[in-house]
A = this chain, B = another copy of it.
Amino acid sequence: MKLTPKAAMLAAIEEGKKGSGFVSPNPLVGCVILDRDYNFLAKGYHARLGELHAETHALKSVTDTSRLKGAHMYVTLEPCAHEGRQPSCAKTLATLPLKSVTYGLPDPNPKVSGRGVEILRAAGLEVVRFAELQNELEELAEIFLMNMREGRPFVSVKVASSLDGQVALADGSSQWITSEASRGHVQSLRGFHDAVLTGAGTFHGDNPRLNSRDSRFADKRLPVILLDPDGSCVAALPGSALLQVRPAADVFLVTKPGVKVLSGVTHIELSMRDGEFDLRALVSLLPAYGVHSVFVEAGATTVSAFLRQRLCDRLYVFMAPKILGKGLGWTSALQIPSLEQAVRLENLRVEPLGEDFLFTGRTIFSTRTLPKSLG
């Protein structure tokens, strides 16, 4: 089957997604190889940290290597130039009789950026930066790009609300607002990240496990970051669902300095400002624990705090086809002083999930800091 370059790059993006949750801190990368006549030849992806890169994964499945002569490779990210756990992809490709390599994004890693292209060009290959699908390519690599560009973990915030923006009724009841299909998707999203973050309110109210019941992630370590300024969760932690499904060290308990915690849990002491943690300071500590992406799954107070501190890179809103009236809105602790300062969503997509709809988009903040309250 012949493929256009765009179809090949789209297929490479789909390949890349298959590594979600397994490659941190590497990027998700996918690759498609077409033969000299643009017939499909092979595809591959970076499946797991320390294992083959997408290009070599795709090459491995080519049994008749004579078909690589004059072939065209499409890869979502510039092939790497440096030797790490794996040999340099650019150097490997330079030894092959490929005609062209088309890549989606330049590598933002200063160790690699542009060097992969140089190696390939020096070997006589045509190297093309793909001009289309930039949003899709950025989205595939968004965790890695944020890690590289801003030197901090990528933060996703999840909300499950009614059509009128409520996460609970006035009396606090909130179980099962969204459907089973939505809740199943949340299980996968947890696994796509390095850690899940929640607040003391959710811990006390729901006693959640916050692991991933997506079978792909059955063996994945998934720490929970629990925001608990005053240590209110300490007494209940030993019997909690959180500790039933993970070792104590994988509960990162974030408290004010001087709070006594349970031995065994990972204790992060952080000073507060205006009664709130500095969440940017918090996430800057996480890479030391191997956490390069965080999935925030919490109540309105914590969600609003992340929005107010403009620390939300991607928003996932699971919206149920229900109207709940005046209850608890998911932004009830956020106030926006003017319409120009509204938080916007870019590249917003909406997809049906059972009877619900999932909105997801990149969050764009105005440059001004949002006040905690106007009241």
Q: Does A123 interact with chain B (Cβ within 8 Å)?
A: no
Contact B338–A169 (Cβ < 8 Å): yes
Please list 27 pairs of residues, one from A and one from B, whose beta carbons are closer than 8 Å in the complex, sorted by A's number.
A162-B342, A163-B165, A164-B165, A164-B330, A165-B166, A166-B329, A169-B338, A173-B339, A175-B339, A176-B339, A177-B339, A321-B346, A321-B348, A322-B345, A323-B342, A324-B331, A325-B334, A325-B335, A325-B343, A325-B370, A326-B331, A326-B332, A326-B335, A329-B329, A348-B355, A348-B357, A350-B352
Q: Which residues of B contact A170 (CB under 8 A)?
A: 335, 374
Q: Which of A331, A332, A334, A350 has the most CB of B within 10 A?
A: A331
Chain B nearest CB: distance from A370 CB in Å?
8
Give CA–CA (A346, B322) in the complex, Å.
9
Q: Does A317 interact with chain B (Cβ within 8 Å)?
A: yes
Q: Which residues of B contact A254 (CB under 8 A)?
A: none
Chain B nearest CB: distance from A78 CB in Å?
31
The closest CB in chain B to the CB of A374 belongs to B170
Q: Does A361 interact with chain B (Cβ within 8 Å)?
A: yes
Contact B165–A329 (Cβ < 8 Å): yes
Q: Does A125 interact with chain B (Cβ within 8 Å)?
A: no
Give CA–CA (A166, B166) in the complex, Å.
10
Give CA–CA (A62, B304) in the complex, Å.
63
Q: Does A327 interact with chain B (Cβ within 8 Å)?
A: yes
* Candidates B326, B336, B359; contact of A329 at CB < 8 Å: B326
In order of increasing CB-CB distance, the 7 nearest A-B pairs are: A165-B165, A325-B334, A323-B343, A321-B345, A325-B336, A322-B342, A164-B165
Q: Does A31 interact with chain B (Cβ within 8 Å)?
A: no
Q: Which residues of B contact A326 (CB under 8 A)?
A: 329, 331-335
Chain B nearest CB: distance from A343 CB in Å?
4
Q: Which residues of B contact A342 (CB under 8 A)?
A: 162, 322-324
Give CA–CA (A309, B166) in the complex, Å.
20
Contact B350–A323 (Cβ < 8 Å): no
The closest CB in chain B to the CB of A371 belongs to B325
Contact with B along A354-375 (1 / 0, CB 8 A): 0101010100000000100010
Interface residues of A in 119-176 (CB under 8 A from B): 161-166, 169-170, 173, 175-176
Give CA–CA (A339, B320) in the complex, Å.
12
Q: Does A307 interact with chain B (Cβ within 8 Å)?
A: yes
Interface residues of A in 282-307 (CB under 8 A from B): 304, 307
Q: Which of A329, A333, A335, A346 has the most CB of B within 10 A?
A: A329
Q: Does A344 interact with chain B (Cβ within 8 Å)?
A: yes
Contact B334–A307 (Cβ < 8 Å): no
Q: Which residues of B contact A177 (CB under 8 A)?
A: 339
Q: Which residues of B contact A332 (CB under 8 A)?
A: 326
Interface residues of A in 64-102 (CB under 8 A from B): none
Q: Which residues of B contact A348 (CB under 8 A)?
A: 321, 355, 357
Chain B nearest CB: distance from A200 CB in Å?
21
Q: Which residues of B contact A321 (CB under 8 A)?
A: 344-346, 348, 361
Contact A164–B339 (Cβ < 8 Å): no
The closest CB in chain B to the CB of A342 belongs to B322
Give CA–CA (A339, B359) in the complex, Å.
22
Q: Which residues of B contact A338 (CB under 8 A)?
A: 169, 173
Q: Which residues of B contact A327 (CB under 8 A)?
A: 335-336
Q: Which residues of B contact A331 (CB under 8 A)?
A: 164, 166, 323-326
